[in-house]
Structure 1
Amino acid sequence: MNATTFDETQALKALTALAQAQRLRAFKALVVAGPEGLTPGTLAQQLDSAPSALSFHLKELAHSGLADIEQRGRNLIYRANFAQMKGLLAYMTMHCCQGESCEVTDSTASCSDC
């Protein structure tokens, strides 16, 4: 998925999912975990969160497309959906720098107007 196929509805759904502290923390932990992903129990321990509350947040991340779920035996494995994350970032920066090409490094854009 790229910026041209990522639409406003998808962006709003993803941003809404991330606009809650526990979900943002969970998503960041999934990004750090990488392709291996995490079980809800492991994630709950890492975030010092109640598993039942975290389950709700993980479902919201999955519903937004920012997380994928895999059934592995009796466990669920949650992973950050990097393609969706990149699509959101591309969508958000599509019109950056007044339409000029710019590259973001160290949290700053290379164009003088950004």
Structure 2
Amino acid sequence: MENQDAVSALGALAQEDRLAAFRLLMTCGGEGMPSGEIAEHLDVSPTRMSFHLTTLERAGFLATRKEGRRVLYAVNQARMRALLSFLIDDCCGKNPAICGFSNTD
């Protein structure tokens, strides 16, 4: 990951509703959740939530899949790991394990 990619990724998460949706979806694992349920859970209008989910999807943080007529949103774990790895890459003299992190990417 390059600096500009990290800035873009962090920018996508730098909004209260998007961050809340992302954190909620992290609890779902690979199962995902439809936009309407996310909006209801977070007490956000469905239209507004759809806008935020699209922003997260464009940033690569979410993947979608169709299940019947529903579209389920799930976290793209690889994208999140790449961002976290980028952020901690130089931690503790390039030895993130010292700080309790492990760089898996």
User: Given that residues 63 and 73 in structure 2 are in contact (C-alpha distance below 8 angstroms), is that contact kept between their aligned partners in structure 1?
Assistant: yes
| Structure 1 segment 28-107 matched on structure 2, within 5 A | 28-99=23-94, 101-103=95-97
CA RMSD of aligned residues (A): 1.3
User: 5+ unaligned residues in a row in structure 1: which ranges?
Assistant: 1-5
Relative CO higher for 1 or 2, CA cutoff 8 Å, sep ≥ 6?
1
Give the TM-score normalised by the residue count of structure 2.
0.89
TM-score under structure 1 length normalisation: 0.82
**Runs of at least 4 residues of structure 1 off by over 3 A?**
none
Query: 1:86 deviation in Å?
Result: 0.4
Q: Tell me, which stretches of 5 or more residues in structure 2 are unaligned?
A: 101-105
Match for residue 8 of structure 2? 13
| CA drift at 1:98 | 2.7
Q: Distance in 2 between matches of 1:67 and 1:96?
A: 27
1:32 partner amino acid: T
Identity %: 36
Please identify the structure whose Cα radius of gyration is greater: 1
Count the aligned residue pairs.
100
